[in-house]
Structure 1
């Protein structure tokens, strides 16, 4: 469908350039974000091209355009069904010179259409860039800049701008990148390059000289669309900026050229999970048919999710996360420490372990910790009562690492292949002395667990559950994450250990870890129902924050544990 020129209006006209290839995994969320942009569709045109697909990208775009296309001032649709591959590509993620050139030609065609149509702006946005901020267009226009990008967040330190470029057109590290990416400095900053998602003002001085193809006559830099456009801006004297004062949305970390579409899909699922934690979450378009999901228990007899009824946001996020990973979870209502009084606690047969004190604050057991222990204990009881051979246990504040499901399935397959006897496998924890933990022969993804904090994610066997119950821990209770290391004889406090025998739980840990807490003490969003609680025998109703406990702080050793970009220190190529 070709379009006539744009109608007169005081509101700027915008072209949305959509260039999609093998984007089935991200298109529903991408298109959903475009639908939600707070800007009149009568002042927007869609320029949409797709090519070289081996998935349902073309059909998905056709379905979406049929549903919403009439709402826009103009629609240009450029599908190419064949060929499905480039002749010299090694795979769908391999960037050949021919592919770069074809993409540059498409972007140039979109730019030319926008000029001919009389648009004031054109927004380029890659199909795995999700603009969750529906004010993005208005905010960028309000800056009055010729070329401006909304800084997008990713699973790592990757983003959609460069702070430095060499005289030969290659990436140059600068001191400004990480403070900008981490929003330690906020505002709009001039940079040599933006890519993936950016807005071009077609009325700006010099904008008529901007081009993607052919490259500038003096161009000698690498043959790459983002570098070609950066050079064009430089040659035309057009300033390029990135703005980070708002959270605009997300960008998927690109996979390597030798990887495939499944790797990219798994990457994007992780980005969806990160958005569920950090917010705002992505919302898929209701106008496209998404590939169906088939949740399973991934080889476990049950997948338990411990969740407080008064924290519905956490519960919903966890269930949504599991759904995205196609894991079938069952919610277990947590025992709410706030609803317990000292007499109710004692009526359950609970008594404090003599002499117990928090290792950092010196406080006694809190009601929140009692509730947490009882919640886990009820699951152990169910495992034994039902004879469940192996289960997964999650708390509701889990941040899943990339490809959680695939990595866990491989780990359990390897454990089974090695016929390794096990009672408990930590999937997420805070390691106290990781350098002292021994590797497991034949299982590179597993270590013998040492003293650890947290019970946010673990696998438990029937034999393990029986051992935990047999120790009768309710009669001498301490926090559940202190109890478990006692049971595998790795707790440093000999007085505590003396109350439990035998201490023969066979415990391991995934390494790298597969899960981490959503937040840590000191984070603005941090919230703990065990650390913000009253002492176990205090019925005054007062809540005390014990956030000084080192348990809840981010571990300086998490980089050694192989956690994701949330805990790693910046590495030289993280931003590329």
Structure 2
């Protein structure tokens, strides 16, 4: 096994220099001749205000001395008039002083003058990063570390990697070479061989030898921090994204021995436990979810923090903390995070987790049999989730980013609908597709709000007689009109270009984990089975919640679609597009997500269906769904271009979504147990997409 240790660029075995030692400040103590020298002489050359102030002080001292001598003089001298330079003294005392008094005004003697104290230097922090097979995450993780608001000259880096089958070592080495001059010091511990642990079943399997090696590495990092007299050590996992640049300073300000920032994920999972069994295993408690969802905010005492956390090495109790070897009384599971939690317990050090701010994200752990591709796609999904409510997590500027070659996933075309005035949605969606390697054609949506009556009439648009919104009792809005026309134009392009199968996205969706792979696998199964299909929902809102939908035999993750809302994403065939156009929907328009269920004959309102004689669209749905909305009605940041509008033929009648949080928000919160599609064939990837702790 090849190992290198020491300052980057030095020979193996070089000792990493610690932080700078404290040195005595310059300047000596006052001497006796300085104390006896003339105050007036030393005051010369200091500016007029300072001079007059010092002169007045000297005159007062001389007069006091004369009075003392006069009292001690003999009787013949008692009647002698004592001279007092009152005019000069009054003149000097009336000289205006600078605002707030002269420098050192509180001091009687000029030697007592002082300058204000300088602020304390930033604490000395060592950041410990352990990485194994993490090349897919390092570009983004390291970029986040670079943006932490802490002086780099007061920050040391301790980086270790081992047992890699990817290019983790290459990426880390490139980064460390580029940044070593920016940080106080760098300790680099690579181990190129062996590439596997002898007792592991795969790269995601945590064997006993892997646990032990991780404990030893963390202990070595802790020792390095203590040896260089660091004030703090920050442990960060290689796939944890610290996106709040103030995270380190916020944790330091909490003044806790061991404290972690609560990291978000796509599920209930985070980097802390609220309960632990008597054997050291995870225990569900009622306290966890309110903290995880930030219904309760603060810093909370917990039995376990892991992945990313800060240790205050200034605290006396921190000397008793250890990752390895386990405490002599330790009898629990051989697991690095449990071993350290036990060490804290024995040292009477309380762990804390803080959720006052949004600090960052981490991926949900995968199963032991997962592959490195699974892990890379899982981390990519973390990046997609970040973009829903935050700016993208940008990669490090010091290392070259891997290139991605986008494709159309086997479709003839991938459409993405976006309103020109919704630039934020467009940029987020294009970035999300780029991260997944999906090539798309941007389609400018029809802005119904910008259409006037003459434009609507020129297209021959008429509303379906008797249509009313089921929640508000209102007719079609201009926003819904524009949405319908946007999809209608795509159906026309599909027919005009003869596209056999196309994928359509709206711009207000978020992706499930493994989206690309799961959809491609589904379409392969559909093709192999020879299924006759026209439309496949990829994302929707189920409106029929009383009975399960019928599963499609021999095709994983597919059901026959029942009454559904939303057109977030769907696959459409050339045959399906022709059926939709042949229905002449512009002359009897209703919202597009009401029109589609009419066309596959699952709409509950028979009066609507009566206007469309041929309702033979063969519609299916992915199950479980692969996309869902970025925001639901009433969420912070929720914006609706279809509902927040005006009635299609009367601009004086304004419409909006249900801000009163009444019927529309209460309905469809969850499917009944009996209505769930439990008999659908599941793929091996489905379990990873569920919200599991």
When normalised by structure 2's length, the TM-score is 0.80
Q: Distance in 1 between matches of 2:691 and 2:656?
A: 43
The answer to whether the 8 Å contact 2:646/2:654 transfers is: yes
Equivalent residues in 2 for 1:102-181, closer than 5 Å: 102-181=213-292
Count of aligned residue pairs for this structure pair: 568
Task: State the partner residue of 1:5.
Answer: 18
Q: How far is 1:444 from its partner? A: 3.1
The answer to whether the 8 Å contact 2:412/2:502 transfers is: yes
Task: State the partner residue of 1:72.
Answer: 183
Please list every run of 5 or more consecutive structure 2 residues that lacks an aligned counterpart in the other structure.
Answer: 1-6, 8-14, 23-119, 679-685
Q: Distance in 2 between matches of 1:408 and 1:572?
A: 16
Q: Distance in 1 between matches of 2:691 and 2:612?
A: 49
Task: State the partner residue of 1:29.
Answer: 140
Task: State the partner residue of 1:340.
Answer: 451
Residue 528 in structure 1 maps to residue 640 in structure 2: yes
Task: State the partner residue of 1:402.
Answer: 513
| 2:530 aligned counterpart, secondary structure | coil
Q: How far is 1:540 from its partner? A: 3.6
Equivalent residues in 2 for 1:247-258, closer than 5 Å: 247-258=358-369
Q: How far is 1:410 from its partner? A: 0.6
Task: State the partner residue of 1:453.
Answer: 565
Task: State the partner residue of 1:236.
Answer: 347
Q: How far is 1:171 from its partner? A: 1.2
Q: Distance in 1 between matches of 2:160 and 2:558?
A: 46
CA deviation profile, 1:512-536 (whole Å, cap 9, x unmatched): 1111111101111211100111111
| 2:631 aligned counterpart, secondary structure | coil
Q: How far is 1:289 from its partner? A: 2.4
| 1:529 aligned counterpart, secondary structure | coil
| 1:444 aligned counterpart, secondary structure | coil
The answer to whether the 8 Å contact 2:549/2:677 transfers is: no
Residue 497 in structure 1 maps to residue 615 in structure 2: no
Q: How far is 1:254 from its partner? A: 1.1
Equivalent residues in 2 for 1:162-561, closer than 5 Å: 162-434=273-545, 435-540=547-652, 542=654, 544-546=656-658, 555-557=668-670, 560=676
Residue 52 in structure 1 maps to residue 159 in structure 2: no
Task: State the partner residue of 1:574.
Answer: 692
| 1:298 aligned counterpart, secondary structure | coil
Q: Distance in 2 between matches of 1:555 and 1:542?
A: 26
Q: Distance in 2 between matches of 1:561 and 1:272?
A: 30
Q: CA 1:553–1:386 in 2, change beyond 3 Å: closer, same or farther?
A: farther
Q: Distance in 1 between matches of 2:522 and 2:662?
A: 32
Q: Distance in 2 between matches of 1:454 and 1:164?
A: 40
Q: Distance in 1 between matches of 2:383 and 2:691?
A: 23
Q: CA 1:528–1:362 in 2, change beyond 3 Å: closer, same or farther?
A: same
Q: Distance in 1 between matches of 2:519 and 2:201?
A: 29
Q: How far is 1:543 from its partner? A: 5.7
The answer to whether the 8 Å contact 2:419/2:446 transfers is: yes
Q: How far is 1:278 from its partner? A: 2.9
Q: How far is 1:131 from its partner? A: 0.3
The answer to whether the 8 Å contact 1:120/1:203 transfers is: yes
Task: State the partner residue of 1:565.
Answer: none
Q: How far is 1:286 from its partner? A: 2.0
| 2:524 aligned counterpart, secondary structure | helix
Q: Distance in 2 between matches of 1:180 and 1:555?
A: 26
User: Computing the radius of gyration over CA atoms, which structure comes out larger, 1 or 2?
Assistant: 2
| 2:136 aligned counterpart, secondary structure | coil
Residue 20 in structure 1 maps to residue 131 in structure 2: yes
Q: Compare 400-409 and 427-436 and name the one that shifted more.
A: 427-436
Q: Distance in 2 between matches of 1:230 and 1:518?
A: 37
When normalised by structure 1's length, the TM-score is 0.96
CA deviation profile, 1:362-392 (whole Å, cap 9, x unmatched): 1110000000000000000100011111100
Q: How far is 1:546 from its partner? A: 4.6
Q: Distance in 2 between matches of 1:161 and 1:436?
A: 37
The answer to whether the 8 Å contact 2:134/2:168 transfers is: yes
Q: Distance in 1 between matches of 2:279 and 2:184?
A: 41
CA deviation profile, 1:88-133 (whole Å, cap 9, x unmatched): 1111111111111111000000000001111100000101110010
Q: How far is 1:432 from its partner? A: 1.3
